[in-house]
């Protein structure tokens, strides 16, 4: 893919062309080699941070829901193993 660096109002803007067209690239390092903390921590914009936060939140919700369902099933199976007549309603025991 193609990369370009242009200057707008004294600031350098880095562009990258991919299959969807041109987009702005937020480099992690400044021109002098120092670390750009904003780009490093949030990906250059708060919109990127919001997208990552939503994605991580969905993954954590899926994990929580799975663990809750597994503990509910385990509790139900343990109750059925201790007292099968009460668990089955007395019709088989």
Same domain, 55 and 82: yes
pLDDT at 58: 98
Same domain, 31 and 66: no
Same domain, 53 and 93: yes
Same domain, 64 and 84: yes
Does pLDDT of 92 surpass 70? no
What's the domain range around 71?
Answer: 45-93
The two counts, helices (H) then strands (E), for the chain are 3, 3
In this structure, the number of other CB atoms found within 10 A of the CB of residue 41 comes to 10
Residue 31 CA: distances (Å) to CA of 28, 38, 64, 69, 80: 10, 15, 43, 51, 67
Does pLDDT of 93 surpass 70? no
Does pLDDT of 3 surpass 80? no
Same domain, 40 and 59: no
End-to-end CA, the chain: 71
Contact yes or no for 7/1 (Cβ under 8 A)? no
| pLDDT tens digits for range 33-89 | 888 787 788 877 788 889 889 999 999 999 999 999 999 888 888 877 777 666 555
Does pLDDT of 2 surpass 80? no
Same domain, 50 and 93: yes
Same domain, 24 and 40: yes
Same domain, 32 and 55: no
Same domain, 30 and 50: no
């Amino acid at each position: 893919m193609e990369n370009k660096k242009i200057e707008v109002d004294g600031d350098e803007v880095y562009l990258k062309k991919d299959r969807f067209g041109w987009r702005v690239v937020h480099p992690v390092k400044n021109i002098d080699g120092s670390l750009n903390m904003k780009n490093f921590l949030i990906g250059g914009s708060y919109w990127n941070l919001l997208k990552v936060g939503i994605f991580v939140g969905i993954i954590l919700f899926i994990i929580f829901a799975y663990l809750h369902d597994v503990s509910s099933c385990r509790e139900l199976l343990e109750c059925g193993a201790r007292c099968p007549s009460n668990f089955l309603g007395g019709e088989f025991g």
